[in-house]
């Protein structure tokens, strides 16, 4: 038997008997498929939670991003400015809509798109701005909005990691014309997979709702009719629906959200205190005018220290870790792109350490001690 300590997970969902009971209720209802009554209940609650009038549950954040671009009218030949430091689902959605993603370099402190970089990229082909809330912390939305309004562009928030975040007291999701969320297993609230598209614009969400159900209204809209309504297809849509089973889980996760956020913020505070004054490592910045949801806790390793060596030695100690996310402009799928030095630099130096709501005080201290020891060894 090994005496090695148990591995500390990089990310882990917080689920239990409440989610199982909610799923059992859906089983008893007989409506397990997507876009049913449990989805509608979740959509109403989620819209209220993120401060918008409307929400549409989707199969994942990628489908929410794509639907949003479609209903905004994106077409081949258009350019969309995208915050560069992001998982490539953001840029992929632009490609899938037929447009060209033009990547903007990011702020060195909070890693979201630099407003000055955005403005410098606007051309006659630019139709909109798609900034990303990196690790969940919103970017500079007042500045983004001013640029969008000045140039007649739409603004679409990639809020994949941002459930529970705020910007100047306003909830993430309510900061742009549209916003897309993720409920992937590493996010703050999760059904394993899933997503949502939110907006105050009823017409945009109504268009997206048809597209996400093959191009027709969902079946629930025909419930209770005293006739036999036959849907008519006017355009080819998709099956991007969240199942009612997943929606049941998400309703419980919404109930848990305040406690989950409090736990993550407590862990982040302890990490930051533990690494205070540690040479070779920079801790993430949480700006005072916004509430950080801490979907991830990402360290910036000094350039003279091998990030790969740090990662391997932490893993040898049973501490999971990984790179932060992608400098999208470096990915071959996007073709030749202009150099973006800030994003490229943090892509090489970022290291995510365990961050989830189930971490114990002992585990947090073990992670912090492991990081301190490894950095000392390699300095």
Buried residues in 248-277 as b, exposed as e (16+ CB within 10 A): bbbbbbbebeeebbebbbebbebbeebbee
CA–CA distances in Å: residue 366 to residues 26, 67, 236, 265, 267 = 40, 43, 53, 18, 12
Low-confidence ranges of the chain (pLDDT < 50): 1
Reading the block at residue 353, the tokens are 């350490």
Q: Where are the beta strands (DSSP E) in the chain?
A: 54-58, 79-83, 100-104, 126-130, 154-158, 166-167, 170-171, 178-182, 195-199, 281-282, 290-291, 297-301, 350-353
- pLDDT recorded at residue 3: 61
Is the backbone of residue 237 left (phi > 0), alpha (psi -120 to 50) or beta?
beta
Whether 187 sits among the annotated catalytic residues: the reply is yes
φ, ψ (nearest 5 deg) of residue 143: -70, -40
Domains and CATH numbers, the chain: 17-254 (3.40.640.10), 257-378 (3.90.1150.10)
Q: SS3 for 299?
A: strand
d(CA 74, CA 6): 48
Active-site residue identified among 41, 187, 207, 210? 187
pLDDT of residue 1: 42
Give me the pLDDT at residue 260, please: 98
Tokens representing 157? 């928030």
Strands (E), 310-374: 350-353
Q: Strands 79-83, 126-130: parallel, antiparallel or unpaired by DSSP? A: parallel
What phi and psi, each to the nearest 5 degrees, are found at residue 195? -165, 180
Distance CA 284, CA 351 (A): 11
Q: How far apart are CA 60 and CA 68, in angstroms?
A: 13
**CB count, 10 Å around CB of 362?**
10
Segment holding 181, helix H or strand E: strand 178-182
């Amino acid at each position: 038997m090994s005496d090695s300590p148990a591995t500390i997970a990089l990310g882990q969902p917080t689920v239990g008997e409440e989610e199982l009971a909610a799923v059992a209720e859906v089983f008893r209802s007989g409506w397990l498929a997507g876009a049913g009554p449990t989805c509608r209940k979740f959509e109403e609650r989620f819209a209220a939670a993120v401060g918008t009038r409307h929400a549409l549950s989707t199969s994942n954040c990628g489908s929410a991003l794509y639907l949003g671009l479609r209903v905004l009218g994106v077409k081949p030949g258009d350019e969309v400015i995208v915050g560069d430091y992001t998982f490539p689902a953001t840029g992929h959605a632009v490609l899938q809509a037929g447009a060209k993603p033009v990547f903007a370099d990011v702020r060195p402190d909070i890693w979201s798109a630099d407003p000055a970089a955005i403005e410098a990229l606007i051309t006659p082909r630019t139709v909109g701005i798609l900034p990303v809330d990196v690790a969940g912390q919103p970017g500079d939305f007042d500045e983004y909005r001013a640029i969008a309004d000045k140039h007649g562009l739409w603004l679409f928030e990639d809020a994949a990691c941002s459930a529970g975040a705020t910007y100047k007291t306003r909830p993430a999701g309510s900061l742009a014309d549209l916003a897309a969320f993720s409920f992937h297993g590493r996010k703050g609230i999760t059904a394993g997979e899933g997503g949502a598209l939110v907006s105050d614009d009823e017409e945009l969400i109504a268009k997206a709702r048809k597209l996400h159900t093959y191009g027709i209204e969902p079946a629930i809209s025909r419930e209770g009719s005293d006739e036999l309504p036959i849907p008519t297809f006017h355009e080819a849509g998709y099956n991007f629906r969240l199942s009612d089973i997943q929606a049941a889980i998400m309703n419980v996760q919404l109930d848990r959200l305040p406690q989950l956020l409090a736990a993550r913020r407590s862990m982040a505070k302890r990490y930051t205190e533990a690494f205070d004054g540690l040479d070779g490592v920079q801790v993430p910045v949480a700006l005072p005018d916004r509430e950080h949801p801490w979907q991830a806790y990402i360290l910036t390793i000094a350039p003279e220290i091998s990030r790969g060596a740090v990662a391997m030695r932490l893993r040898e100690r049973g501490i999971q870790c990984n790179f932060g996310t992608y400098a999208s402009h470096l990915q071959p799928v996007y073709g030749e792109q202009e150099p973006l030095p800030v994003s490229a630099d943090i892509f090489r130096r970022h290291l995510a350490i365990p961050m989830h709501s189930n971490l114990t005080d002992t585990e947090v201290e073990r992670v912090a001690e492991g990081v301190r020891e490894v950095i000392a060894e390699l300095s």
